[in-house]
Structure 1
Amino acid sequence: MKFACIGLGNVGRSWAVTFARAGYQVRLWDKDPESLAKAYSLIRKALEDLTTVDPDFDVQKAFANVHLAETMALAVEDADYVQESTAENVNVKVQVFNALGDLAPEKCLLASSTSAIPASEFLASVSYPQRCLIVHPVNPPHIIPLVELCASPWTSPEVVQQAKSMMEQLGQSPIVLNKEIDGFVLNRLQWALLGEAMHLVGEGYCSVEDIDKVLTKGLALRWALMGPFEVGHLNATKGLEGYFDVLQDALKRVQGSLKTDYPPNSDLVSQAHDVMAKRIPVNEIENYQSARDQRLLKLRQHIDGTSCKNT
């Protein structure tokens, strides 16, 4: 099986690591020559980081699977699966997928990493739209395994099942959405929390640092092991029904005051950015990303014993 990655930002490069680590050939292409050249060394570094939890991981063997392509056509000419990770813009997606539909083999699966755009908004004019779908990862996908599969109105059910099976073979953990919705599942949950976080900071209830501490020293410790339904079920003697029964008045009162759609005005965003940039300078983000990845690898290893060969 051969893979292609179109678009080589943070997500596209991580997808390349995912495919190469699993032993598959992957061709890379980006319209920006600088991004294409830069991707090669960053992918090598990401593969080397996997030895953090698996000293026996063969970096050279995995890296030998990675190949740069001079054109999109060469990248996808004999691909079985293409992962698009270009700009989060409908017009860009339309152009890229129309090109992919004409260039890729007829039976090649075409998948998008879009973070929030429903497939029906950019797949209408693609050749053979039945083989196209959204395969939305969590950044970085070679370390965080969740993948959201969402079909368009034209996607074949067999293609969805094929993509699901393929992701499982790669070591990912796919879920299948039953119907389209903006932001899919993960980003709707993530951005709802982010909106309330901005509200709490913007209205002076707490600081940016406090918000992060609430997650890292509180909620995230539970969430690393269980979801919100299991948290509620275990936090009440009578299970989830007991949890909602005991807290129904408090839930109604607090939920009525939530501001998940709090507008992130430029002053507030700048304030939050300055706090983060003081702790993590922008020109050092790549180094911090590498350190993040190694910590996440160790966390994955601790939680489920998964090796880097099948994260």
Structure 2
Amino acid sequence: MAEQGSKNLKVAIVGSGLIGQNWAMIFAGAGYQPCLFDVDEGQLSRALEGTRQTLSKYEKEGQLRGKGTASEQADRIKGTNSLQECLDGAFYVQECVPENLDLKKKVFGEMDSLATDDMILASSSSCLCASSFAADLKHKQNTLVAHPVNPPYFLPLVEIVPAEFTCPEVAKKTRSLMEEIGQSPITLKYECRGFALNRIQYACINECWNMYKTGLLSAEDIDKICTDGLGLRYAIIGPLETMHLNANGIKDYCERYAQGAVEVQKETFHPLPVMYDTETAEKIEQELQSTLPLEKLQDRRVWRDGMLAGLAKYKNDSNK
């Protein structure tokens, strides 16, 4: 928990969409003073009011993170339409603009011209590596990716992805900061497109897509594999520990099951990459709409976040 005193508590959040709002609430709950930036004055006003209302809602539901009341946390969050004002005095910047390479190049170029030599410039990018938009910056050694998982307020994982030119100390400081504010960081040893989480997620989606396309299972039953099977397990332990526990250690698991796994893959896996085609998507959507029509998606997202909040609280309480 950050404390007042000589320590610099200001962080800059560039982009006031939902991810930016989540970052602001997380930092505010940890005692920092986040400043949200957006060129759209209307969006910025909605974001500031949205964070206040959301924190109040979380407080009423027993889901508020950090210390202090919802009102106290909301008061720590400021907003501005001036990028210079947003970055002025900040030691850490979290960029949260849409996943568009040209836009990120533009935003990082503008931040670079305002940054100090010791300011960390982190991107929330989910697939784009820092080398694709920061290689020509004056302060490129201070840039990296700090990719959150949506919604980051309840899903604490953050992928820290340094570029080849990122100073190792910057990656180390970013990881320490993420741990301090209650997130759960992992650090990739080198850049790769899609980082780690999306590579695992895409592998899962690929097999789900192939099973549906070949008529093996309905969309509902495919999702059940995770919600009533793998997902419950992986919420507690990961796939490598699963292997370790499902035999007398992971070496024993491989000696028992590796050949069988290879045979299954040879017989059922499809060549990569798997294209998520419109024809199959339309069929899946038709099935999903019978229980979850498009106009109900926002209600379902709210339900999802509530369930994730409960799971996060249970895991946190269980680990104390």
TM-score by length of 1: 0.91
1:27 — aligned with what? 35
Aligned ranges for residues 195-234 of structure 1 at < 5 Å?
Answer: 195-234=206-245
In the TM superposition, 1:166-245 aligns within 5 A as 166-236=177-247, 238-245=248-255
Say yes or no: does 1:254 pair with 2:283.
Answer: no
Shifted more, 52-61 versus 19-28: the winner is 52-61
- Matched to 2:262, the amino acid is K
Using the alignment, how far apart are the partners of 2:273 and 2:151 within structure 1?
Answer: 26
Q: Cα gap change, 1:76/1:276 in structure 2, threshold over 3 Å: closer, same or farther?
A: farther
**Structure 1 spans left out of the alignment, 5+ residues:** none
How many Å apart are 1:54 and its aligned residue?
A: 5.0
**In terms of mean alpha carbon deviation, does 238-247 or 146-155 score higher?**
238-247
CA contact (8 A) 2:29 2:68 kept: no
How far is 1:304 from its partner? 2.7
> How far apart, in 2, do the equivalents of 1:269 and 1:34 lie?
35
Correspondent of 1:75 among 86, 101, 104: 86
Structure 2 counterpart of 1:295: 307
Partner of residue 284, structure 2? 272
Structure 1 residues 281 and 82, CA gap change in structure 2 (3 angstroms): farther
Write out per-residue CA displacement over residues 221-267 of structure 1, whole angstroms, 9 at most, x where no aligned residue.
1101000011111112x221222222122200122332363211112
1:38 aligns with 2:53: no
What residue in structure 1 maps to residue 62 of structure 2? 53
- Amino acid across the alignment from 2:301: Q
Distance 2:181 2:221 in 1: 37
5 Å matches for 1:7-18? 7-18=15-26
1:279 Cα deviation from its structure 2 partner: 3.6
| Corresponding letter in the other structure for 1:180 | E
1:96 and 2:107 equivalent? yes
| Partner Cα separation in structure 1 for residue 186 and residue 175 of structure 2 | 8
Give the stretch that moved more between structures: 121-130 or 284-293: 284-293
Counterpart of 2:174? 163
**Cα distance in structure 1, aligned partners of 2:78 and 2:41:** 14
* Percentage identity across paired residues of the two chains: 34
**Mean CA deviation greater in 254-263 or 149-158:** 254-263
Instruction: For 1:58 and 1:162, locate their aligned partners in 2 and report how far apart those are by CA, in whole Å.
Output: 28
- Aligned CA-pair RMSD: 2.2
Could you tell which deviates more after superposition, 266-275 or 221-230?
266-275
Provide the C-alpha distance between the structure 1 equivalents of 2:126 and 2:231, rounded to a whole number of angstroms.
22
CA–CA distance in 1 between the matches of 2:196 and 2:210?
22
Q: Please tell me whether the aligned partners of residues 49 and 290 of structure 1 are also in contact (alpha carbons under 8 angstroms).
A: no
Query: Equivalents in 1 of 2:23, 2:222: separation in Å?
Result: 30
Using a 3 Å threshold, how does the CA distance of structure 1 residues 82 and 136 change in structure 2: closer, same or farther?
same
Task: Return the offset for 1:152.
Answer: 1.1
Cα distance in 2 for residues equivalent to 1:10 and 1:273: 25
What are the ranges of 5 or more consecutive residues in structure 2 without an aligned counterpart?
1-8
Distance, in Å, in 2 between the alignment partners of 1:32 and 1:140 is 23
The CA deviation at 1:90 is 1.5
Q: Secondary structure at the match of 1:268?
A: helix
- Number of positions where the alignment pairs a residue of Structure 1 with one of Structure 2: 307
Secondary structure of the residue that 1:42 maps to in structure 2? helix
1:35 and 1:274 mapped to 2: Cα distance? 33
Local SS of the residue matching 2:160: strand
Task: Indicate the residue corresponding to 1:145 in structure 2.
Answer: 156
- Find the residue that maps to 2:19 and give its secondary structure: helix
CA distances 1:133-176 after superposition (whole Å, capped 9, x unpaired)? 11011111121111111111211111111111111110111111
Q: 1:295 to 1:75 in 2, by over 3 A?
A: same
Range with bigger deviation, 219-228 or 250-259: 250-259
What is the Cα deviation at residue 217 of structure 1? 0.3
Q: How far apart in 2 are the matches of 1:38 and 1:287?
A: 19
Q: 1:284 to 1:83 in 2, by over 3 A?
A: farther
The TM-score with structure 2 as length reference comes to: 0.89
